[in-house]
Amino acid sequence: MAAQNPQTTQNTVLVAVFAALIAALGLVPPITVGIIPVPITLQTLGVMLAGALLGPWRGMLSVVVLQVLVLAGLPLLAGGRGGLGVFLGPTGGYLVGWIPAALVIGLLVQHWALRRTGSTARFLAMLLSTVLGGIVVIYAFGVPWTSVVTGLPLSTSALGSLVFVPGDLLKAVVASLVAVSVHRSYRRLLGGVRTAAR
């Protein structure tokens, strides 16, 4: 049997590690809010980190791996949730939104944020990347889905989602700080993507 390509092995390990990281963040109990039946969890931080650190395709694949396991019934989501019913419920749109979120964050980081010159400019670009992917994209899927499933008016679903914004902004800041630091120390993490001088 031919030896496996070391790069393929590394990619497989990184995808598995970040899928496990997102699952581990689900061990933190969710916080429920009364406005809409969608809990606040730490797992979107894992999605942001996956996209920002692994790039678009590996980051997205780590989310897909996690969600396939959840679909299979494993209780890997916050609160010990799992199974098809989670995706068909009020939170389903947010969960589906994790996949394009990791993709968008990865694309923006790889092709834009890491090419910024200067630490401050790079951090701000990283932050904007995680906000666009990890908040705007996820909400674009989650808000309409919650409205459809619960029968709430779209405006009510959108208004209710505002309760998540402060926490999600904090997660984006944390993910950006981590990503900037990691990429500074390990420049080949994204396959040797060219970065601007510090």
Alpha carbon distances (Å) from 119 to 47, 193, 195: 23, 17, 12
- The runs of H, that is alpha helices, within 26-118 are 43-54, 56-71, 84-88, 92-111
Identity at 157, one-letter amino acid code = S
State the Cα–Cα distance between residues 56 and 50, nearest whole angstrom: 9
Q: What is the pLDDT of residues 5-56, one digit of tens each?
A: 778 889 999 999 999 999 999 998 888 776 677 778 899 999 999 999 999 9
Spatial separation of the C-alpha atoms in residues 92 and 2, rounded to whole Å: 41
Using the predicted structure, report yes or no on whether residue 197 has a pLDDT greater than 60: no
Q: What is the pLDDT of residues 155-166, one digit of tens each?
A: 999 998 888 999
Query: How many Å apart are CA 22 and CA 93, to the nearest integer?
Result: 17
> Residues, the chain, total?
198
List, in order, residues 6 or more apart from 80 with CB less than 8 Å away.
Answer: none
